[in-house]
Structure 1
Amino acid sequence: MPDYSMLQQMKGAIFDLDGVIVDTAKYHYLAWRSLASELGFDFTEADNERLKGVSRMRSLDILLDIGGLEFTEDEKLAMADKKNGLYVDYISRLEESELLPGVREYLIRLRGCGIGIALGSASKNAQFILDKLNIAGMFDAVVDGNKVSRAKPDPEVFLTAARGLGLQPYECVVFEDAEAGVAAGKAAGMQVVGTGRPEALSGADIIVSGLHEL
């Protein structure tokens, strides 16, 4: 039986976005697949698993490695911008109904208990997505790829989020669905709730299928 006592003691909850709050991974995949197709190779869903929780430029490097291609930094920046344009086009049609099960209810419960709520995501479109989902007002701090320079598993994003909440790392719990994110949370000195597939979350303190379990 999982030990949920850490959730009763936490003062701050820091959530990853993709795969925890909303499933935008499918839109990332479609955008990366489109770019790969344009470059002349296939990009599979299995390949896409390697990009979970990884920054945009690092994701592009992995994609190009799969395709066996090399480009200059300027060319890669242009490709990353192109991919982001495709992705933004997909997520511009996001609706509240795409919130993952239990998300809104859990956020409301946390706010009712006076627990600080932050987002800690590699996404540079995080604020836009929160606005589309109509939950932006439920977050006390939003730390995304525009505010940090080091990607997970570096703990920068979560440490910055804790500071945004005015809390010490040990007072915060991270909610993550990716191995790199779990590692970042632990490196930050925080306890971690893994959401999703147990095989990718072995370092988490608790593993649940989704926030609806909480």
Structure 2
Amino acid sequence: MTAPYRAVIFDMDGVLVDSEPVFFEAVNEVLKPTGKRIEWEDYQQLLGTSMSHTWRNVLEIVGLDASDTRSFVDGYGDTLIELLRRPRSLIDGVEPLIAELQHRGIPIAVATASWQAWVEAVLGEGAGIPLDTFDAIVWREQVEKSKPAPDLYLKAAELLSIPPERCIAVEDTVPGITSVKAAGMYAIQVRASST
């Protein structure tokens, strides 16, 4: 009899690294010239959504013209990369879990709504974990639709050459869990300190 699950796919932000507070800080840095600020409680409601959705909602929440997202998004990317490069630790328990999965020969992947440059900054530079630690990494640019659509997780399963129903996915947000379930995978929900 073979094991029912053959791979583990991790979300990145809030699962491997508690980077959500950094995204929050970057949003407020970009808003600073407007004299506006979003509160953490309001921002938390946007976790796990696409960047365009997040910015549209941020601008509405703080009372700015939501049709002008492009100018905010452009400044956000550069600010965010700088902040994500700061040294940070993996969430407690992640490193031994990855080591155990690798020891057992279980393929591991990352499926994140973050952009490639952000992934490289968070994992490679900030957390100091080589990207080739993972058998596959899927970031936002590689799929048509982000979470809550299943595209990121389906692409990760494809790259691992494992059927989606044989994958376990670890997530921390409602849109992420929706994405996992839509992909036909078994979902495990965890909570970082920020989520």
SS in 1 for 2:69: helix
2:21 counterpart of 1:26: yes
Counterpart amino acid of 2:172? D
Q: Which residue of 1 aligns with 2:122?
A: 129
1:34 and 1:105 map into 2 onto residues whose CA distance is 35
* Gap runs ≥5 in structure 2: none
Structure 1 residue ranges without an equivalent (≥5): 1-7, 201-214
User: Higher mean Cα deviation, 131-140 or 166-175?
Assistant: 131-140
Q: TM-score, normalised by structure 1?
A: 0.82
Higher relative contact order (CA 8 A, sep 6+): 2
**Residue in 1 aligned with 2:92?**
101
Distance of 1:127 and 1:171 partners within structure 2: 28
CA distance in 2, matches of 1:76, 1:189: 33
- Over aligned residue pairs, what C-alpha RMSD do you find? 1.7
Q: Which amino acid aligns with 1:107?
A: I
Selected match of 1:83 from 64, 76, 91? 76
Q: Please say if residues 37 and 43 of structure 1, whose CA atoms lie closer than 8 Å, have aligned partners that are also in contact.
A: no
Q: 2:85 aligns with which of 92, 95, 98?
A: 92
The residue correspondences of 1:30-49 to structure 2 (distance < 5 A) are 30-49=25-44
The answer to whether the 8 Å contact 1:10/1:115 transfers is no
- Deviation, 1:41, is 2.4
**1:206 alignment counterpart:** none
Aligned pairs for 1:32-71 within 5 A = 32-70=27-65
Measured in 2, the distance between the counterparts of 1:36 and 1:59 equals: 13
Percent same amino acid among aligned pairs?
29
Instruction: Deviation per CA, 1:46-70: give whole Å up to 9, x if none.
Output: 0111221112111101101112332
Pairwise CA distance, 1:71: 5.1
Number of residue pairs matched? Answer: 187
Q: Is the aligned partner of 1:165 residue 2:160? A: yes
Candidates 106, 110, 113, aligned match of 2:104 = 113
Contact 1:27 1:91 in 2 (8 A): yes
